[in-house]
Structure 1
């Protein structure tokens, strides 16, 4: 099967062409009813609400034996876990703290994975933020949306690779599925040619709430293109999933009132339900095979990356981002982890 990297980029305008295709002209692919996850152990981040919670519920519905709900607030995680424990009494459901604004929290979480889990089959990295005001994370001195959606997500992905490789059953590679958004195709990314690149996101004069969300997702795709070239699918299958335009999440909670009203109208007319969107997560994480390594899965199918990533300029930015990001993660020996795989 052809990889996302080998497909021709889709140059049709995202609005309205791709949006209409995604939301109105796509046939959903329900998870096969005989999918059986008995004995398996999976992590879902950001799983106390929205897509993460629904994904967790659907995995448990396919007889998942042990779910780790990775959440910022343990109290909120336990409140979300309580009805799941009643609905799925045979499953073990654990709630572990994970703060995506803290590198220390990421390292502590992965250390617990290494220590406490004899088996790990799948990690679904769903946690993220959207359309937030300009904020600098004091602990890292990085802009908040870039920190959570890009830097912390990529570091967590790298740190989980050894556990996914060695704790999955022999002959069955671990699975790493990361949430993305095809709004990345609309990213203006005004600082794309800045060197160094990462510090330039701290310039409030170029900050745009809507564009920063799209750009943060584009950064993830640029980095994962390189990461999936470096990591064998025989060790860990890594893919990205785009669930579509979804209603019933908190993604737009910081938008101004009039914008929320307009989005509410759009969602009523065109958005997928959380239940339908979560089937895309489950499909990417447990249904698709090695053919999805390094791919973006949108509309339950392998789709191309955004056009920028195929261009000469995109390749140059990709290399710059890769170099700076690995330097950012040097304290965690990220480059050595990647080379070990």
Structure 2
């Protein structure tokens, strides 16, 4: 359980620093960047002199509106921001995006930020939709783009960053599915589903995946070092609970008004992680510094199942690590 004192300090007293470190000449991809944290992080990257910021979005019209907003506020040239389609609910869309990204001259930062919150049961790509969108597809996307990040490291003698947006809510779930023979199969069974806890579980699974991926990156003999970390942006004002109605929604909005950070303030944590050096590799970045990532007892089990899923989607993908 998340210590209440630490939570209150984080939300009410700690203020993520305003980003000032330049990203001059860099190419950056931010998923889920048509709104919320992703949009504001992309806006910061543009402000901080990135050469190209790619908004990876499911809805191209909303992406174009986000691009216009960024260019207007930051007064940058049209070609600084590009909008690319990426639908994490479809593995083919993830693969197509990665193929397109192979044509980039460089890739310095990849921020895996996109995700969903839903309490309704739907299946996508043989998983419940939250698991596909928040866990499997971001990992698929990241590993497909890992060679481009490594190539950039070697070609430009730089230290690329791969950042995942996770959350403090991994502390909330008791994760009873850990005791199942096959965790992902259990999560795909509607009879066993606890949808009120599904987002929390998805962020825990994503955290496990990131930490295993970072460990494999550290052990890799491939050329080109990539820093991999994940970040807790805190409770941020978003529309994540838009499915709630009535009194439940009113109570949620009341407490959000008191405790939640604005999207701009929350987005600073993503940019901070994208600045992170070796000390942040494999770390859970909490309040812009490495924090606790307890609960690793089933991490290896989760990763083994993820490996099987990823190899089934894209045979040979693990050779990218």
TM range (shorter): over 0.9
Pair 1:298-2:286 in alignment: yes
Q: SS of the residue aligned with 2:101?
A: helix
Per-residue deviation, 1:192 = 1.1
Pair 1:261-2:253 in alignment: no
Residues 105-184 of structure 1: matches in 2 within 5 Å? 105-115=93-103, 117-137=104-124, 140-168=125-153, 169-184=155-170
Unaligned runs of 5+ in 1: 1-12
Pair 1:26-2:14 in alignment: yes
Per-residue deviation, 1:208 = 2.3
Q: Deviations over 1:108-142 (max 9, x none)?
A: 00000002x101110111100013311111xx111
Q: SS of the residue aligned with 1:94?
A: strand
Q: Label 1:225 to 1:83 Cα distance change in 2 as closer, same or farther (>3 A).
A: closer
Alpha-carbon separation, structure 1, partners of 2:36 and 2:192: 30
Match among 303, 308, 318 for residue 322 of structure 1: 303
Aligned to 2:188: 202
Aligned to 1:245: 235
Deviation beyond 6 Å, 4+ runs, structure 1: none
Alpha-carbon separation, structure 2, partners of 1:171 and 1:104: 32
Per-residue deviation, 1:24 = 1.8
The question of whether the paired residues in 1 share the 8 Å contact of 2:85 and 2:97 is answered with: yes
Match among 43, 51, 54 for residue 57 of structure 1: 43
Q: SS of the residue aligned with 1:192?
A: helix
The question of whether the paired residues in 1 share the 8 Å contact of 2:164 and 2:210 is answered with: no
Q: Deviations over 1:153-175 (max 9, x none)?
A: 11111111111110245331211
Aligned length: 312
Q: Deviations over 1:205-226 (max 9, x none)?
A: 3322331111100001112221
Alpha-carbon separation, structure 2, partners of 1:146 and 1:175: 24
Per-residue deviation, 1:26 = 1.9
Aligned to 1:67: 53
Q: SS of the residue aligned with 1:68?
A: strand
Aligned to 1:104: 92
The question of whether the paired residues in 1 share the 8 Å contact of 2:46 and 2:80 is answered with: no
The question of whether the paired residues in 2 share the 8 Å contact of 1:132 and 1:145 is answered with: no
Alpha-carbon separation, structure 2, partners of 1:226 and 1:292: 14
Task: Using structure 1 for the length normalisation, give the TM-score.
Answer: 0.87
The question of whether the paired residues in 2 share the 8 Å contact of 1:326 and 1:334 is answered with: no
Alpha-carbon separation, structure 1, partners of 2:39 and 2:178: 34
* Root mean square deviation of aligned Cα: 1.6
Task: Using structure 2 for the length normalisation, give the TM-score.
Answer: 0.92
Per-residue deviation, 1:15 = 5.9
Deviates more, 1:231-240 or 1:218-227: 231-240
Alpha-carbon separation, structure 1, partners of 2:246 and 2:286: 30
Unaligned runs of 5+ in 2: none
Q: SS of the residue aligned with 2:164?
A: strand
